[in-house]
A and B are shown apart, each in its own frame.
Chain A
């Protein structure tokens, strides 16, 4: 059989989530979605391409408005069942440029030129006889079809719908336009491929492409978070002041500026991750976000997002042990154990007590008179973990969101669902080693390879978090 680009028209009653399904499947947040029926007025194509290759086309359409009238027109012309698809075509040709059947023509046009049917209903509201005419019209087109039960509200009439839809459509599936996860979306695409033998191959390829794209996004997301971590461990703010200026007058504002640049860096990472997942019009709950940002330096946040006390002590011990190992080396390994023990004690203690201290402002004399104030880089043990926890949470929220969700992005400020508490000791130790190396500016092979190593760890943390979430579900 000759390959052909599969095309699918998403059709149905107005306001049943057609555009939402299209938006979710095409990851396009430019699609207009609203609770007012008749939002979509023209068909719009969403081509799925891998490189230059077109694998399938999704078509958003306006809803039926005069299905009974259209069906009546067609029935008048019916001679036998075989004539039906031709009559639908005639209908489109006949009414294309008139006002009366504008919506019907828009939605039927792709069908008469070979598109498959994805019929969408709202399974949270009861079935009614007014759907029969439009389903009959769709049957007349003779196109392969599938019905999707979308659950918009709280009611559940899915089984009632199953029975009614079963009489018109061979395949009936439940699909939640707003909240369906990635795997379910791929499963749906695969099911589209079942509608016509010739469509299977391109849709399989599309699914493979999307799957590897998800890996790419996770890898890049990890990379972006790793860059964030590297940066917040190394950036500082400096300011030159005159020989007569009192450094104390400037310390606070410099520290503020330093904090602000940390926040900016975090926000930039959020932006990058959002556009990585094709969110361009994402509305943010600014107030919530502001609070979220403010929280970055609060002790509560640190308790929440960062490591817990025990982890901190252990982590400080890791960092300290590295210092201790250094002492060992310095004294020629004579009392190898002793060095490590001292390091562990020192590191462990400071880990707990330094959580309220982000960074110091140092005063450095300048050779030509005056001083330079320097805020940062932060020496705080917990801080990178706080950012890591928040970044992983944000990534998870974005990755599991759909493009049909149009409510403002809310990043929860207090959540138990996503923290580093469950991080394995092994992974945490690897992080700490890397953090220590970056802080000492002594990464093996320079910034780039340190960032890469860090990205691998972030990727592992993502996997750990995902499996943790998965097991609680």
Chain B
């Protein structure tokens, strides 16, 4: 309902917010997005990204890239983020929208307060009871002087680069931000409904935790509020003054205890009128006018004279006063209001753009990224069943030996391996595997079968992988020699034709592989250190 409110003064600051500018001092282009949407996006972005962490990256990539295709290609990064956020939410009011609404309401309250104060102050200063004329000095002091002083303070608070050169200025700046009427805005949050109040307070509270992202926005929101107040103060004052001018008769004069001659005052007034001296020469007080309207409080007679002097003479002051109020109070304020509104926007835009996670989100939405990863998940191998292997009995026996795949051990080394590791002596020695054909392997098996008993030792290179081909061979061998006959697989290291210990990890790879065969007379013994 606030949004649709259209009284003229509300229009003033909405107009100021709606004006779009080329990027001046802003790093992220802020197109015609309302400050409210930007703030809402900034607040909602964090929680939404956090929620999104639960979704697998590949899914996020697919989803966001797909969503992005439904958006016009010309959309800038901020609009993409915004569209993404809106696409995710339902229709209920988000935390961010509550913040934006809270800020809007407070802006409106401050505008009203400013207007009212300006009006009341004008009524007080332009009070004319028929005895003493309205003192032009006072009017100018409040509606021009005060405005110019606060304007100067605003500029000090607003210009960060000045601070690095002047000691102590940054302290002064924060004090100024702290003192600015915009702070009233923070106090006014009390008047908000609970939802907006909490949201807005939480938002302001974040600037201490993360000054980089939220410091600028918060600071400018406060400064913007003070501009709203100051501008509407002046609007109220002008309206009040005008209404008095129109609906009552006023008499203006000037009075000061200072030793100022009429000429000095005239010079000052002329200087003030310089901006409008050409288009509106009537609004420049003449020396004549200045001289004839000086009065002294202690000299009621003269004051009464002035009051009763020609009305025309007296009222000639008012165009000057009115233009002073407009030129020195209203117009600069309008400019600072626009400036501060724009800074709120650009700071919010920067904060969204550089929010942790925005980069990644934009990457996902923007197809132009490099992807090298697999698309499908990896197929898992079902665990095979393992059977325990038989234990090697340490009886001395003569063993038939198969040297699998060219171990490179010399015969003496093989003898030594049999003795040291198993306590066996060597019977037949047959090479198999390697580059031999399957038929050759079969003839090795045929030869082994001719030896009727004793264990069969298969020497393998421990560092090589046990392959299915080898397991095939073991199965064929078992089939040929029948059950109960010991077949002992011995993984060994080889060092220049001599036996070397097998590495433990290699030995366990072999053992594990053999355990899948389910052969109870199959045994295993790796060469140990």
Residue numbers of A with Cβ under 8 A of B are 13-15, 25-28, 30-32, 35-42, 44-52, 58, 63-69, 72, 103, 125-126, 128-130, 132-133, 153, 209-210, 213, 220, 227, 230-231, 234-236, 238, 261, 268, 272, 275, 278, 280, 322-323, 325-327, 329-330, 437, 440-449, 451-452
By a CB distance below 8 angstroms, the chain B residues around A451 are: 212, 354
Segment 236-290 of B: residues with Cβ below 8 Å from A: none
Chain B's nearest CB lies how many Å from the CB of A368?
Answer: 12
Bound Cα distance from A238 to B376, whole angstroms: 48
Is B210 an interface residue when CB atoms closer than 8 A count as contact?
yes
The answer, among A40, A327, A441, A448, for a CB contact under 8 Å with B354, is A448
List the 9 closest pairs (A to B, CB-CB), nearest first.
A129-B435, A442-B163, A326-B167, A129-B434, A65-B468, A234-B211, A42-B379, A28-B373, A448-B350
B374 with A26: CB separation less than 8 A: yes
With an 8 Å Cβ cutoff, the count of chain B residues facing the other chain is: 63
A125 to B407, CA, bound (A): 12
Which B-chain residue is minimally distant from A67 (CB atoms)? Answer: B469
The answer to whether A45 touches B376 (Cβ under 8 A) is yes
**In the complex, A164 Cα to B378 Cα: how many Å?**
33
A68 close to B354 (CB less than 8 A): no
Residue on A nearest B162 in the bound complex, by CB:
A442
Partner of A326, one of B166, B375, B509: B166
CA distance A227 to B379 in the complex (A): 40
Do residues A39 and B381 form an inter-chain contact, with CB atoms below 8 A? yes
- Which single residue of chain B is at the shortest CB-CB distance from A155? B463
Contact residue among B161, B360, B373, B472 (Cβ-Cβ distance under 8 Å from A444): B161
Q: Are A133 and B27 in contact (CB under 8 A)?
A: no
Q: Which of A14, A46, A275, A322 contacts B374 (CB 8 A)?
A: A46
Bound state CA distance, A41 and B380, in angstroms?
Answer: 8
Tell me the residues in window 359-408 of chain B with beta carbons closer than 8 Å to chain A beta carbons.
Answer: 359-360, 367-379, 381, 405-406, 408
Cβ of B213 < 8 Å from any Cβ of A?
A: yes
Query: Are A236 and B466 in contact, with the CB atoms below 8 A?
Result: no
Interchain nearest-CB distance for B360 vs A (Å): 7
Is the Cβ of B163 less than 8 Å from the Cβ of A441?
A: yes
Whether B465 lies near A13 (C-beta < 8 A) is yes
Beyond A44-B379, A440-B163, 18 additional contacts (C-beta under 8 Å) are: A13-B467, A30-B374, A30-B377, A35-B509, A44-B374, A45-B374, A48-B371, A49-B370, A49-B372, A68-B437, A72-B437, A103-B468, A130-B434, A213-B370, A231-B210, A235-B210, A238-B208, A447-B216
For the complex, what is the distance from the CA of A448 to the CA of B408, rounded to whole Å?
68
Which B residues are in CB contact (< 8 Å) with A64? 467
Q: Is the CB of A130 within 8 A of B435?
A: yes
- The proximity string for B residues 426-444 relative to A, scoring 1 for CB distances below 8 Å and 0 otherwise, is 0000000111011000000
B345 at the interface (CB under 8 A from A): no
Q: Which of B127-179 contact A (CB under 8 A)?
A: 160-161, 163-167, 169-170, 173-174
Interface string of B480-524 (1 = CB under 8 A from A): 000000000000000000000000010001001100000000000
Contact of A442 with B160 in the complex, beta carbons under 8 Å = yes
When the two chains form their complex, are residues B467 and A66 in contact, meaning their CB atoms are under 8 A apart? yes
Contact status of A452 and B27, CB under 8 A, knowing A41-B379, A234-B215: yes
- Asked whether A272 and B370 contact (CB < 8 A) given A128-B464, A329-B166, the answer is no
The answer, yes or no, to whether B528 is at the interface (CB within 8 Å) is no
Kindly state the separation between the CA atoms of A355 and B505 in the bound complex, as whole angstroms.
49
Can you list 8 A-B pairs with a CB-CB distance of less than 8 A?
A: A37-B465, A45-B376, A47-B371, A128-B464, A130-B406, A227-B354, A234-B212, A448-B354
B57 at the interface (CB under 8 A from A): yes
Task: Tell me if B419 counts as interface (CB < 8 A to partner A).
Answer: no
Chain B residues with CB under 8 Å of chain A are 25, 27, 57, 160-161, 163-167, 169-170, 173-174, 208-213, 215-216, 347, 350, 354, 356, 359-360, 367-379, 381, 405-406, 408, 433-435, 437-438, 461, 463-469, 472, 505, 509, 512-513
CA distance A371 to B472 in the complex (A): 82
* Distance from A271 Cβ to chain B, minimum over Cβ atoms (Å): 9
Chain B proximity of A287: nearest CB distance (Å): 24
Q: B160, A129: Cβ atoms under 8 Å?
A: no
Contacts of B350 in A (CB 8 A): 446-448
Q: Which residues of B contact A213 (CB under 8 A)?
A: 370
Whether the Cβ atoms of A447 and B212 lie closer than 8 Å is: yes
CB within 8 A of A446: which of B173, B347, B360, B464?
B347
Contacts A68-B438, A130-B435 given; does A227 touch B370 at CB 8 Å: no
**Contact present for A445 and B356 (CB under 8 Å):** no
Contacting pair B167 A330 (CB below 8 A): yes
Q: What is the bound-complex CA distance between A327 and B512, given in angstroms?
A: 78
Chain A residue at minimal CB-CB distance from B25: A445
Give the residue of A65, A437, A442, A443 whose beta carbon is less than 8 angstroms from that of B467: A65
Contact assessment for B469 and A65 in the assembled complex, using a CB-CB cutoff below 8 Å = yes
Residue of B nearest to A47 (CB): B375
* Cβ-neighbour of B212 out of A48, A230, A437 (below 8 A): A230
Within the complex, which residue of B166, B370, B405, B472 is in contact with A210, where a contact is CB–CB below 8 Å? B370
Q: Which residue of A lies closest to B466 (CB)?
A: A37
A278's partner among B164, B166, B373 (CB-CB below 8 A) is: B373
Q: Is the CB of A235 within 8 A of B209?
A: yes
8 Å CB contact of A448 from B27, B210, B370, B512: B27
Distance of A13 Cα from B470 Cα, bound (Å): 13
Q: Which one, A66, A272, A278, A329, contacts B356 given CB within 8 A?
A: A272
Inside 8 A of A130's CB, which chain B residues have their CB? 405-406, 433-435, 464, 467
Bound CA–CA A235/B160 (angstroms): 19
- Judge whether B215 and A447 touch: CB under 8 Å: yes
| CB <8 Å contact, A50 and B370 | yes
Q: Is the CB of A231 within 8 A of B212?
A: yes
Interfacial chain A residues near B216, Cβ < 8 Å = 446-448
In the docked arrangement, what's the CA distance between A325 and B164, Å?
A: 10
A66-B372 in contact (CB<8A):
no
CA distance A31 to B509 in the complex (A): 20
In the complex the two chains form, is B469's CB within 8 Å of A69's CB? yes
A132 CA / B374 CA spacing, docked (Å): 31
A residues less than 8 Å from B512 (CB atoms): 36
Shortest C-beta distance, B224 to chain A (Å), equals 15
Which residues does chain A contribute within 8 Å of B376, judged by CB atoms?
44-45
Q: Which residue of chain A has its CB nearest to the CB of B376?
A: A44
Give A58's nearest chain B residue, CB to CB.
B372
